[in-house]
Amino acid sequence: MPAAVVVSAGNYDTAIAEAQAAAHRNRGILIQDFAFENYEEIPKWIIEGYQTMLREIDDELAGIHPDLVVTPVGVGSFAHAVVSHYKSKETPSAILMVEPDTAACLWKSLRRGEVQTEETTHTIMAGSNCGTVSSISWPPFQSGVDASLTVSDYEAHTATVCLKEHGVSAGPCGAAALASLRRLSASDKTKLGLDHNSVVVLLSTEGSRNYETPLDVSVDDPVTLTQSLVQIISANPTLGSIPGPGETIIVRYIAGWLEHRDIEAHWIEPTKGRPSVVGIVRGSGGGKSLMLNGHIDTVMTLGYDGDPLSGEIHDGRLYGRGSADMKRGIAAALVALANAKQFYLRGDVVFAGVADKEAGSIGTEKVLQAGWRTDAAYLDIHGLAAQGPRADQRIDAISKAGHFLVGLDRYAKQLQQSAVDPDVGSPVIHAPIIKGGEEASSYPALCTIVLERRTVPGETVEIVRAGVQALLEKVAGNVPDFRFTLRVTFDRSPFSIRRSDPSLLL
């Protein structure tokens, strides 16, 4: 009977559950090494099989005692074999476990003192992207693990490069052991009893393979962090003639940046392909909470003068799509969130990197729907759109629209010369999209003009609509056969904060 391969749309834990259900439906046997309630015998056999490799290592060492053994961890079965083998020796070796920053189910369980399923996000160390420690492996881990740490994708990548230079073929999961050894501080090495004479065994669980080279998440400087964010394309997929890729890649980076600093991170994706990310530094209790909210999408990269993903700095200016709007703001918010850990605040500080500001702002809506609310928030400013002139048969709607656009240009200049808010500047209006006509041989019956109106504190939807309505009526009074409909399709209230506010010192 031919085999059928089914690709799970979920994570590792979901795939295991689906495989178990398929085995029951087809009266089959589930064979894999993750143990859970009523499924422990087969994982025990697999753990015993792993011991064969460890005995082969003993033979290679020819009696040399390893002071430290470093092993990658997924669900923990191979690591279970490592603990059982080396802790049963007359002189036990110290055991160091390593996991991805973004899939640290063992590290978090050890810190907590009990096993819970963890929410994981993307990692190039795919073999370790597991959310739950195997049930039969947890007890020996509690008593036999000397140290546990996590590494970033970038650290695993640089370790693969190092190993390759020394003739060792290893993928990111396999190179994680070397990455973790490099991560140890002098104090860590002392606690593990290591010195320049120590023998360390690094267990590589994966051979060399292709993967996308990750960016460094260790950067703390907001300027350098802005450069990294600009180098990640996050153009909105609903804009332009060529849709952008959306926010998935930049959310992966931000989630990794947060987890690398042990900041709680949550992936919010009720709309497939349009994720947002939430990071939280929890307070001690009793204080007010604050949300730092910013959008992570950009407008399209087409038409940018130069390399839109360069992130280069020339004459003190940082260039690239989104460098101003608003990846520099995202970088500042992330650094402020990380700094909040040092102040031991009573209230929570929450970062929300949201999708889709450049179109419908679904990201902020979905984050709020997911329950992430605070006592205060800083948001970017949104405007509204309007639908423009329409003509009957043999009246050129596009030509009529031209009269409105001339008036719009004058109106925009008037707004710029109006009262200036000291923090957010003057209100702005422009026409980013104009659509009309079906073919060269006919008069266009409809011309649609989309307006974007950036509002400032004190302005309301009613005020903005009245201004555009007055402009349209003025044009209609001067241009024969000029007719229009005006529709507000989207609006968000403006926000601002005093530059002297103490919360900006985070």
**Is the CB of residue 412 less than 8 Å from the CB of residue 427?**
no
The predicted model scores a pTM of 0.76
Q: Measured between alpha carbons, how far is 26 from 18 in angstroms, rounded to an integer?
A: 12
Q: What is the three-state SS of 41-99? A: HHHHHHHHHHHHHHHHHHHHHCCCCCCEEEEECCCCHHHHHHHHHHHCCCCCCEEEEEE
State the average pLDDT over residues 123-148. 96
Torsion of CA 162, 164, 170, 176, to 10 degrees: 0
Token pair, residue 406, equals: 């001339």
How many Cα atoms sit within 13 Å of 176 on the Cβ side?
30
pLDDT digits (tens, 9 = 90+) for 146-181: 999 999 999 999 999 999 999 999 999 999 999 999
Helix crossing, 461-478 with 397-416: angle to 10°? 130
pLDDT digits (tens, 9 = 90+) for 185-194: 999 999 999 9
Which range of 380-384, 414-418, 439-443 scores highest in mean pLDDT? It is 414-418
pLDDT digits (tens, 9 = 90+) for 41-58: 999 999 999 999 999 999
505 CB burial (10 A radius; 0-12, 13-18, 19+): exposed
Per-residue confidence at 390, pLDDT binned at 50, 70, 90? very low
pLDDT for position 454: 84
To the nearest whole number, what is the mean pLDDT of the chain? 88
**Beta partners for 280?**
264, 350
pLDDT digits (tens, 9 = 90+) for 57-107: 999 999 999 999 999 999 999 999 999 999 999 999 999 999 999 999 999
State the average pLDDT over residues 341-358. 89
> Is residue 274 scored above 70 in pLDDT?
yes
Is 403 or 396 the better-scoring residue by pLDDT? Answer: 403
> Is residue 482 scored above 90 in pLDDT?
no
**Is the CB of residue 169 less than 8 Å from the CB of residue 207?**
yes
**Beta partners for 430?**
452
CB atoms within 10 A of CB 235: 23
Tokens 């990640």 belong to residue = 232
pLDDT for position 391: 33
pLDDT for position 432: 83
> Is residue 407 scored above 80 in pLDDT?
yes
- The percent of residues in the chain predicted with pLDDT above 90, rounded, is 63
State the average pLDDT over residues 281-303. 89
**Is the CB of residue 482 less than 8 Å from the CB of residue 475?**
yes
- Dihedral-angle region of residue 351 (phi above 0 means left; psi in -120 to 50 means alpha; beta otherwise): beta
* CA distance to 343, 390, 408, 421, per residue, from 468 (Å): 47, 16, 9, 21
DSSP assignment letter at 119: P
